[in-house]
Structure 1
Amino acid sequence: MNGGGLSREELIRYGRHVSIPEVGMEGQRRLRASSVLIVGAGGLGSPAALYLAAAGVGRLGLVDHDRVELSNLQRQVLYDTDSVGTPKLASARTRLAGLNPDVAVETFEAHLDSGNAFEILEGWDFVIDGSDNFPTRYLVNDACVMLGTPFAYGAILRFEGQASVFAAPDGPCYRCLFRDPPPPDLVPNCAEAGVLGVLPGIVGSIQANEAIKWLAGIGKPLAGRLLLIDALRMEFRSLDIAPDPECVVCGAEPSVTELIDYERFCGETAGEMATGGEGEAEDGAGTEDTGDTMEDVDIDVHELKRRIDAGERFQLIDVREDYEWAICNLEGAGARLVPLATLPAAVESFDAAEPLIIHCRSGPRGDRAVEYLRAVGFDHAVNLAGGILAWAEEIDPAMPQY
């Protein structure tokens, strides 16, 4: 051995890392001594696994239980056409070994649940959540908080994605941002709404980048920040996230002190993504409106403006999240914030005698909310087409956009 503990072959293989002053030989040695577990070997897990293996992370774990399907190949770059029908983990192991035989790849062909989560997640230096459903996402968060293991969060839907690092020391966890899982069937998944094939490559690479920085001890992590990515507009925005002192998992007096199987809250179909996929943008946050809505379910922003100016009585419900409300809102028009996940608990406070106008950022969450509200008896609930983005673009250009 030479080169400060790196072999000649390693110096050649990782030369472009070693030549970076911030990484150098010490950073590369740290990567070699580190371990990362990836939950979900799908759209997000694929690029993350490839780049972490290429970077020389010494021990890499993959959790998945699916087989490769033809529809995966549009975005899950870890696999090829010959892999269709085979277990994902078998194909992934072969591909990663071919990329870098010095990386020890461990596979867990299992559905992550409260019974095995600690056993699988314990002992890793960093976790990447490439999950594709809310039950797994909340389970990963809770387990990582309890184990003291930081993890990179990623989510995608249509053209938009999110990324952050949670459960870092003194940083927020996923529940500080999204306290409760959404109700069953309120959130569209990638199978229903679609996803631009390159988007998971962008978000998964960001997750791998965060893992490498953390393990090498360089740079500023995404902990305490939520990165919002709009691939259609090619815009990036970073929002600060503070730890919630009343968080049910990482707060001063946590009420969740053991792992929970969240299928009973979220429903088995609440998202295509988790152990096996790509992670949908939270509650469909920031997705583009396709305009594919039922007749008489939408109104446009000009009609809303007319109703406001005319002094008509109606209830204006904003189903976005707290952090989105803080950026811009229609509070001056009487809007009330009811995040989508809390909608079923809030319906009893709605006045059935007054019209309900629902809005989100750009439309899809509003569509889901209206579908739910009409199913429980609010027949005159309508969605604001284009959401608050349309309001900012067509009615109030001074309103901040995100």
Structure 2
Amino acid sequence: MKLKTAKVLIIGAGGLGCPVLQYLAAAGVGHIGVVDHDKVEASNLQRQILYTITDIGKYKATVAKEKASTLNPFIRIEAYVTNVTSENVLSLIEPYDIVVDGSDNFATRYLLNDVCVIMNKPLVFGSIFKFEGQVSVFNYQDGPTYRCIFPEIPAPDEMSNCAVIGVVATLPGIIGTLQANEVIKIIIGIGEVLSGRLLVINALNMQTQYFDFEALDKNKSIDHLSIYKYVCDSKASSISLEELQELLQTEKVQLVDVREPEEHAAFNIGGINIPLSQIASDNRLFDSDHTIVFYCASGIRSKKAVELLTNSDVKNILSLQDGVRHLQTL
């Protein structure tokens, strides 16, 4: 009965969110929400095994709901095709008892942490980086929060996600399954929940480590979100592919690929190649009388490039929404 009446919100329907959803649905969690604004891409399939090649181009949240519903048609699953922002996060989380962080960026993690502190909801955390995975539970029964172990959000140029740095394909399944395990323990009230402990797993040698940390009062007193600046709410100017095609017909446009040279060589849509790490120092290469459009694989690095140059002398800069990775599958 505890599982049937439980309400769990999963942020992200990617490598972590997929196994969490599958196991919670199979376990009979009565109400599950899935939040993701991305579409399935061919590059996702090796680590997000809920999806198949026929799902490419469809919204992850919608496909995930459909497939989990076939696994267990007796539970309620809701799909939210949206990004998580400080404007919508309160309304997204409010109906649920437990939040699962399956996001792939620091900005969303800090936003979820802070709103879970405000709303007094446990946050089941998972993270993957190359061959290493982490799991913990924050804000559980007045326990430590994410900020108690990671106090400050990194600078934009220090951030990356698994689409950028890569990850061994099996690791998201391992970590996501452990997250689902923590959710079930919380719901049923059994075992020892990973509160105040960070579990770190090395997939290369299968060694595990535990890092203990304590709650800090200053991190438990968050009462509103507007005092924080989240990169996931970035106001960086962006442009869609369709808008770019129109712009190319009417104005002078300089395309700048901010991916690494090997990515540019493998596939590009033209323009010059300046990796994100060199954007600030190589801005003399930009044409001042052109509209400059940055692009990358997914739109994340190009958005960071715009942010880095916001206060510089470079004007008329835009980021290509969703990047160019999906063009490689056309």
Give the superposition deviation at 1:268. 8.6
Distance in 2, matches of 1:229 and 1:179, equals 22
Contact 2:110 2:153 (8 Å CA) reproduced:
yes
Q: One-letter code of the match for 1:259?
A: L
Q: One-letter code of the match for 2:16?
A: L
Q: Mean alpha-carbon deviation: is it higher for 165-174 or for 184-193? A: 184-193
Contact 1:44 1:154 (8 Å CA) reproduced:
yes
Q: One-letter code of the match for 2:215?
A: P
Contact 2:106 2:159 (8 Å CA) reproduced:
no
Q: One-letter code of the match for 2:52?
A: D
> Does structure 1 residue 142 correspond to structure 2 residue 109?
no
Q: One-letter code of the match for 1:45?
A: G
Q: One-letter code of the match for 2:54?
A: D
- Once the two structures are superposed, the pairs formed by residues 174-185 of structure 1 within 5 Å of their partners are 174-185=146-157
In the TM superposition, what whole-angstrom CA distance separates every residue of 1:165-203 from its partner, at most 9, and x where no partner exists?
001123100011111100011134322321001100011
Give the superposition deviation at 1:123. 2.3
Alignment TM-score, normalising by the size of structure 2:
0.68
Distance in 2, matches of 1:240 and 1:266, equals 31
- Once the two structures are superposed, the pairs formed by residues 51-200 of structure 1 within 5 Å of their partners are 51-200=23-172
**Taking every aligned residue pair, what percent have the same amino acid on both sides?**
47
Structure 1 residue runs of 5 or longer lacking an equivalent are: 1-28, 270-402
Q: One-letter code of the match for 2:206?
A: M
Q: One-letter code of the match for 1:98?
A: T
> Greater Rg, structure 1 or structure 2?
1
Which gives a bigger RCO, structure 1 or 2 (Cα 8 Å, sep 6+)?
A: 1
Q: One-letter code of the match for 1:216?
A: I
* Structure 1 equivalent of residue 198 of structure 2: 226
> Does structure 1 residue 257 correspond to structure 2 residue 257?
no
Residue 228 of structure 1: SS of its match in structure 2?
A: strand
Give the superposition deviation at 1:265. 9.0
Distance in 1, matches of 2:186 and 2:95, equals 16
Distance in 2, matches of 1:134 and 1:58, equals 29
Distance in 1, matches of 2:124 and 2:23, equals 14
Give the superposition deviation at 1:264. 4.5
Instruction: Indicate how the Cα distance of structure 1 residues 225 and 74 shifts in structure 2: closer, same or farther if over 3 A, else same.
Output: same
Residue 77 of structure 1: SS of its match in structure 2?
A: coil
* Structure 1 equivalent of residue 9 of structure 2: 37
Instruction: Indicate how the Cα distance of structure 1 residues 265 and 67 shifts in structure 2: closer, same or farther if over 3 A, else same.
Output: closer
Residue 185 of structure 1: SS of its match in structure 2?
A: helix
Contact 1:172 1:242 (8 Å CA) reproduced:
yes
Distance in 1, matches of 2:166 and 2:231, equals 25
Distance in 1, matches of 2:118 and 2:230, equals 20
Alignment TM-score, normalising by the size of structure 1:
0.56
Give the superposition deviation at 1:262. 3.7
Distance in 2, matches of 1:140 and 1:46, equals 19
- Once the two structures are superposed, the pairs formed by residues 224-303 of structure 1 within 5 Å of their partners are 224-247=196-219, 250=220, 254=221, 256-260=222-226, 262-264=229-231
Contact 1:38 1:128 (8 Å CA) reproduced:
yes
In the TM superposition, what whole-angstrom CA distance separates every residue of 1:202-259 from its partner, at most 9, and x where no partner exists?
1101110000010011111001100001001111111111101332xx1xxx3x4212
Instruction: Indicate how the Cα distance of structure 1 residues 66 and 265 shifts in structure 2: closer, same or farther if over 3 A, else same.
Output: closer
In the TM superposition, what whole-angstrom CA distance separates every residue of 1:338-391 from its partner, at most 9, and x where no partner exists?
xxxxxxxxxxxxxxxxxxxxxxxxxxxxxxxxxxxxxxxxxxxxxxxxxxxxxx
Q: One-letter code of the match for 1:31?
A: L
Contact 1:139 1:262 (8 Å CA) reproduced:
no
Distance in 2, matches of 1:80 and 1:183, equals 35
* Structure 2 equivalent of residue 394 of structure 1: none
* Structure 1 equivalent of residue 247 of structure 2: none
Residue 156 of structure 2: SS of its match in structure 1?
A: coil
Distance in 1, matches of 2:139 and 2:51, equals 30
Give the superposition deviation at 1:47. 0.3
> Does structure 1 residue 209 correspond to structure 2 residue 175?
no
Distance in 1, matches of 2:48 and 2:157, equals 25
Instruction: Indicate how the Cα distance of structure 1 residues 188 and 93 shifts in structure 2: closer, same or farther if over 3 A, else same.
Output: closer
Residue 3 of structure 2: SS of its match in structure 1?
A: helix
In the TM superposition, what whole-angstrom CA distance separates every residue of 1:143-183 from its partner, at most 9, and x where no partner exists?
11111110100000110011100011231000111111000
Q: One-letter code of the match for 1:257?
A: D
Show structure 1 runs of 4+ deviating over 3 A: 260-269
